[in-house]
Structure 1
Amino acid sequence: MIARRTLLASALALPLPARAGEPWDAVVDPATGTLGAALAQAEKAGRPFRILLRPGIFTEKLTVRVPGLTLQGSPGTVLQYGTAAGTAKPGGGSWGTGGSGTLAIAAPNVTLRGLTIRNSFDYIGARRDGAGNGAQAVALAVGREADHMIVDRCVLLGYQDSFYLQARSLITDTRIVGGVDFIFGGAAAWFEGCEIVTRYVPNADGFGYVAAPSTPAAQEFGLVFSRCRLRREAGVPDGSTWLGRPWRAGGNMALMGQAAFLQCWIDAHIRREGWTWMGYKGPDGEQRRLTPPEARLWEFGNAGPGAAPAGADRRLLTAEAAKRFTRANVIGF
């Protein structure tokens, strides 16, 4: 029985003959195969590769290293793992935030479609028990090598640091769920038609920050949200959540966060002040704050009960300035 199961798993991870309308190089069923085996096959192929995942749960922590790979989910396909910053690595040491991701992308021109990617770390339990270093637990990590990343019609689930972006990315019609800094990084990224959902956390004083851009000062654009919907889970109160805060990662003075929300619908959980500061350690070792007026944090044409204007630090683009914020300008594709 074990031998037969192994043979089935291996077969499903091998390239299959292309069918009309389904030109898949590998089709994987979680009952009999693994995504890891299919990725290994893709690496051996040495060319762009297409993988279809059947419905079910894949409990795997993986890195994509194949340029041009397409990973397509089916309704009910879930990729999950439960690693957070500070949890032990196999072979010794512990994961950092960037290494905690359920799925990491480390190659250019990768496309993800129709997947649910979840970090299943017990954030609520860790918070209750005082465990972990803030419980950063990434669902999807797009590394610096992953230029021209596409995420389409996916669901990304976490609590703190759900989605980490460090390379040019296009994110369309995707549901992104989290709480603290749950869309973050130094990438130029264009989010279009996405649903961005703040999670409920029992006994929380506040409900976090949507965006934490760490954009290089020399880079014109960072995290740009176009025609997205900012919603909340049941129990998240009005005026409890920040649009975001600028992240000067590692105290790097060359980072000056950039984010913009353009023609989005914003629910009443977003605070009237909009943006807030984030602390960092300066070159002299002193603790400092990077404030919204120092960073490049903007809105334009938003609607809904949580939309601007409100507060001196919640700045609106002029119609002329907003013309610069196009998909072509932000990411070039």
Structure 2
Amino acid sequence: MAVLGLVVGGLAPTATAAAAAPDATGEAAPDGTRAGPGHHGGHGRPDATVSADGRGDFTSVQAAIDAAPAGATEPWVIAVRPGEYRELVKVPAAKPFLALVGTGRTAQDVVIAYDNANGTPKPDGTGTYGTSGSASVTVDGADFTARNLTFANLFDEAAHPEITNRQAVAVLTRADRLVFDGVRFLGNQDTLYVNSSSAAVVARAYFRDCYVEGDVDFVFGRATAVFEGCEIRSLTRGSTTNNGYVTAPSTMIANPFGFLFTRCRFTSDAPAGTVFLGRPWHPSNDPDAIGQVLVRDSWIGAHVGAPAWSDFSGGWSWRDARFAEHHNRGPGALVTPDRPQLTRAEAAAFTPRTYLAGDDGWAPFRRS
């Protein structure tokens, strides 16, 4: 059994899960995102303002991104006023250091959303969008930041029974050094696709005090991603046996760091024991995609059962992936032969800093 490349020992789950992080007023949104007015990093004023009512510089998020300078070396802050922005948003590689900041009181006040799925036909008749093409928001620009807003894919599965490929991505990331702070990600299958520009490239993303919901493989990809203080909510699909998988990592074998969940809450209204923490995804049956996931110091609800990890179709066993837990608590934090646990000494090598440092020492932990 491959577990983070280490020998596995067992520890009973005893850590206390972190509560939703409060804002300066001491309040916290019900979904774990921070309440409170938007803030603009180190800027006293935003560089551009988006407002659907026409009272800002732009009425669409994409128009503001299109107008931002290429090749920036410091943050270019786009303030987004409350409202729903039904549009496709793409941050190109030529525009690093963009920041999208919602100015509402909570992340729910600013919603950026679209409704394409993998199997949605393209309007020009050239086929369907595919999983990557279904993304409501695509981030290819490095050093991107999003704060205090919601990204969603609103594809309605029930309304489109003719579409069988139902992967519908809210956000696709392929760039390095990304920060999502107090952001909500909403969808069903394949909500959050954290990837990189190619299999040979490692891309890093940090999710702080975020809320992510979905049902099937709703956090997936080959990027290195740290989720700290987040709520990870599994939606029920109405099954009494299998209501989906939280993660589907495709971490390349040369990369020791895939997905880390620390001080998170795994919640659901699905029946007990019907949700898996993950399964190993091998894109195009790539044998070098050996997924890595560690869930540590977190609270796990009863929706996760004694077998917390699942095989992937095509004969890919979860036991050959790098899946482990450490120091969790809650009714779903069971310790069984099918729930590999790291020892304290082993877990010391797998922290947010070790995941994100890379060769440049990136440490996006201090709040601005």
Q: Compute the TM-score of the two structures, normalised by the length of structure 2.
A: 0.78
Structure 2 residue 199 is the aligned partner of structure 1 residue 173: no
Q: CA deviation at 1:93?
A: 2.4
Match of 1:35 among 24, 46, 61: 61
Structure 2 residue 45 is the aligned partner of structure 1 residue 23: yes
**Mapped partners of 2:352, 2:71: distance in 1:** 33
**Mapped partners of 2:244, 2:158: distance in 1:** 14
**Mapped partners of 1:274, 1:253: distance in 2:** 22
Residue 327 of structure 1 corresponds to 352
Check 1:203–1:307 CA distance in 2 against 1; reply closer, same or farther (3 A cut): closer
Whether the 8 Å CA contact 2:71–2:96 is kept in 1: the answer is no
Residue 149 of structure 2 corresponds to 115
Whether the 8 Å CA contact 1:153–1:172 is kept in 2: the answer is yes
Q: How does 1:175-190 map to 2 (within 5 A)?
A: 175-190=211-226
Q: CA deviation at 1:331?
A: 1.2
Check 1:45–1:220 CA distance in 2 against 1; reply closer, same or farther (3 A cut): closer
Deviations 1:25-54 (A, max 9, x none): 111112221111101101468564110000
Deviations 1:267-315 (A, max 9, x none): 00002111010023xxxxxxxx2212211000000000000202x2310
**Mapped partners of 1:266, 1:184: distance in 2:** 19
**Mapped partners of 1:249, 1:80: distance in 2:** 26
Query: How many residue pairs are counted as aligned between the two chains?
Result: 299
**Mapped partners of 1:90, 1:43: distance in 2:** 31
Structure 2 residue 233 is the aligned partner of structure 1 residue 207: no
Q: How does 1:196-275 map to 2 (within 5 A)?
A: 196-202=232-238, 205-233=241-269, 236-275=270-309
Q: Which has the higher contact order (CA 8 A, sep 6+)?
A: 2
Check 1:324–1:203 CA distance in 2 against 1; reply closer, same or farther (3 A cut): closer
**Mapped partners of 2:241, 2:132: distance in 1:** 26
**Mapped partners of 1:90, 1:24: distance in 2:** 36
Deviations 1:49-108 (A, max 9, x none): 110000000000111122000100133000010000021224332111111111000110
Q: CA deviation at 1:179?
A: 0.4
| CA RMSD across the alignment | 1.8
**Mapped partners of 1:80, 1:191: distance in 2:** 22
Residue 300 of structure 1 corresponds to 326
Q: CA deviation at 1:224?
A: 0.7
Q: Which amino acid aligns with 2:139?
A: I
Q: Which has the higher helix share?
A: 1
**Mapped partners of 1:125, 1:205: distance in 2:** 24
Q: Which amino acid aligns with 2:50?
A: V
Structure 2 residue 153 is the aligned partner of structure 1 residue 153: no
Whether the 8 Å CA contact 1:247–1:278 is kept in 2: the answer is yes
Whether the 8 Å CA contact 1:292–1:313 is kept in 2: the answer is no
Q: Which amino acid aligns with 1:189?
A: A
Stretches of structure 1 lacking an aligned partner (at least 5 in a row): 1-17, 281-288
Match of 2:91 among 64, 69, 80: 64
Structure 2 residue 88 is the aligned partner of structure 1 residue 55: no
**Mapped partners of 1:201, 1:30: distance in 2:** 34
**Mapped partners of 1:238, 1:35: distance in 2:** 40
Q: Compute the TM-score of the two structures, normalised by the length of structure 1.
A: 0.86
Q: Which amino acid aligns with 2:355?
A: V
Stretches of structure 2 lacking an aligned partner (at least 5 in a row): 1-39, 196-202, 358-362, 364-368
Whether the 8 Å CA contact 2:240–2:271 is kept in 1: the answer is no
Whether the 8 Å CA contact 1:243–1:271 is kept in 2: the answer is no
